[in-house]
Amino acid sequence: MKLKFSKMHGLGNDFMVIDGVRQTVSLSPEHIRELGDRHFGIGFDQLLLVEPAHQPENDFCYRIYNNDGSEVQQCGNGARCFVKFVIEQQLTAKRAIRVETARGVIVPEMDLTGRIVVNMGIPRFTPQEIPFLADTAALAYPIMLSGKPYQIAALSMGNPHAVLRVEDLATAEVATLGPVLESHPSFPERVNAGFMQVIKRNEIALRVYERGAGETLACGTGACAAVVAGIRQGWLDHEVLVHARGGDLTIRWQGEGHAVMMSGPAVTVFTGEIEIGKAS
Ligand SMILES: N[C@H](CCC[C@H](N)C(=O)O)C(=O)O
């Protein structure tokens, strides 16, 4: 099976984006792992598959796969690349796109200057919605990681996030605590582990050890989760500049019951074609 694709990134969080509207695409988790291999395949953090919408009021469906082959519910940097992709590929004449994901509809929009804003939906906090094993919802939860006590925030942006505040991101133990938190038994579907340093009330720095992908250069839903957690704790204002290792995002949230708004760039690196089953 030959597949046309675009290689894209949002602040260095990189994607293989496939048009599943004009192509018939059937990918097994093994195919995804092969394609995601940075030596024997294309290489990506996530694969994004664009499909026709299931509901008439929506424009597309978009499926997200981590490079370990797991299908997940949401991807913030991917949403910006998605809207750039469907416009560049002339799959739509719209600029604001209603996209079905595994956990609800999001609305990314690219204005005429190329700036992209995404309505990322309303964050969820009940343990059942995250999912997170706790008796009741709380602003922060005690958790043991590698034998030491920590406090984390836990919430869902459609996908599960844990946020740990650190004093200095440069010395944060992302490589050791990230995988421990990602697969902690309190998160039955695993979790994206964010490490947040508060610089000012409207500025943070963030590193995310992503579920199913390891540390990435940026994580859009992770940036949303960190800002939401910081606002709820009283550390941050309602519009925050987020410094990821790959660049900056702006996140806005007006509080409980409101959607999180994310704005940032998306880049197409190249387009290509690959024969499936010959990636390795
Ligand atoms: N690793 C995430 C999916 C990708 C999220 C990230 N790349 C973003 O930009 O939000 C998960 O398993 O939920």
What pLDDT does residue 1 have? 82
Residues making up the binding site: 13, 46, 66, 76-77, 159, 192, 210-211, 220-221
Whether residue 80 is found in the same domain as residue 147: no
207 and 245 Cβ atoms separated by less than 8 Å: yes
- Residue 171 phi/psi, 5-degree rounding, is -110, 5
Q: Would the CB of 14 count as within 6 Å of ligand 1?
A: no
Q: Would the CB of 186 count as within 6 Å of ligand 1?
A: no
Residue 113: pLDDT band with limits 50, 70, 90? confident
Of 136 and 280, more confident: 136
Tens of pLDDT, residue by residue over 154-174, are 999 999 999 999 999 999 999
For the domain that residue 211 is a member of, what is the CATH number? 3.10.310.10
Whether residue 89 is found in the same domain as residue 152: no
Whether residue 189 is found in the same domain as residue 80: no
161 and 194 Cβ atoms separated by less than 8 Å: yes
Please report the ipTM that was assigned to this predicted complex: 0.97
List 61, 75, 81, 224, catalytic entry: 75
Q: Determine the Cα–Cα distance for residues 202 and 177; give it in Å rounded to an integer.
A: 26
Residue 227: pLDDT band with limits 50, 70, 90? very high
Q: Would the CB of 67 count as within 6 Å of ligand 1?
A: no
CA of 208 to the centre of ligand 1 (A): 9
Q: Would the CB of 156 count as within 6 Å of ligand 1?
A: no
Say if 66 falls within a structural domain: yes
CA of 46 to the centre of ligand 1 (A): 8
What pLDDT does residue 278 have? 54
Say if 187 falls within a structural domain: yes
Mean pLDDT of 183-190: 98
Q: Which domain holds residue 63?
A: 2-117+266-275
Say if 128 falls within a structural domain: no
Say if 82 falls within a structural domain: yes
What pLDDT does residue 277 have? 65
Whether residue 159 is found in the same domain as residue 111: no
CA of 145 to the centre of ligand 1 (A): 22
List 61, 81, 219, 224, catalytic entry: 219
Q: For ligand 1, what atom is nearest to the CA of residue 161?
A: 13
pTM of the model: 0.96
Whether residue 252 is found in the same domain as residue 270: no
Say if 133 falls within a structural domain: no
What pLDDT does residue 280 have? 47
Tell me which H or E stretch contains 274: strand 267-275
At residue 255's C-alpha, the angle toward residues 250 and 261, to 5°, is 30
Of 10 and 112, more confident: 10
Q: Is the dihedral of CA 120, 123, 128, 134 positive or negative?
A: positive
Whether residue 109 is found in the same domain as residue 182: no
Nearest to 227 by CA among 246, 211, 248: 248
**Pocket-testing residue among 70, 215, 219, ligand 1, by greatest number of atoms within 8 A of Cβ:** 219
At residue 270's C-alpha, the angle toward residues 246 and 90, to 5°, is 105
Q: Would the CB of 13 count as within 6 Å of ligand 1?
A: yes
What pLDDT does residue 135 have? 96
Nearest to 59 by CA among 82, 88, 27, 25: 82
CA of 210 to the centre of ligand 1 (A): 6
Say if 135 falls within a structural domain: no
219 is catalytic: yes
Whether residue 106 is found in the same domain as residue 145: no
For ligand 1, atom 5, the nearest C-alpha belongs to: 75
Expressed in percent and rounded to 5, the helix, strand and coil fractions of the chain are 15, 40, 45
Q: Would the CB of 213 count as within 6 Å of ligand 1?
A: yes
Say if 126 falls within a structural domain: no
Q: Determine the Cα–Cα distance for residues 92 and 211; give it in Å rounded to an integer.
A: 31
Whether residue 100 is found in the same domain as residue 184: no
Q: Would the CB of 197 count as within 6 Å of ligand 1?
A: no
Residue % of the chain over a pLDDT of 70: 99
Whether residue 246 is found in the same domain as residue 271: no
Whether residue 231 is found in the same domain as residue 271: no
For the chain, the domain total comes to 2
CA of 76 to the centre of ligand 1 (A): 7
What pLDDT does residue 122 have? 96
Whether residue 270 is found in the same domain as residue 230: no
Residue % of the chain over a pLDDT of 90: 95
Tokens of 69: 């082959």
Say if 101 falls within a structural domain: yes
Average model confidence (pLDDT) across the chain = 96
pLDDT at 279 > cutoff 50: no
Whether residue 147 is found in the same domain as residue 253: yes
Contacts of 270 (CB under 8 A, 6+ apart): 6, 7
61 is catalytic: no
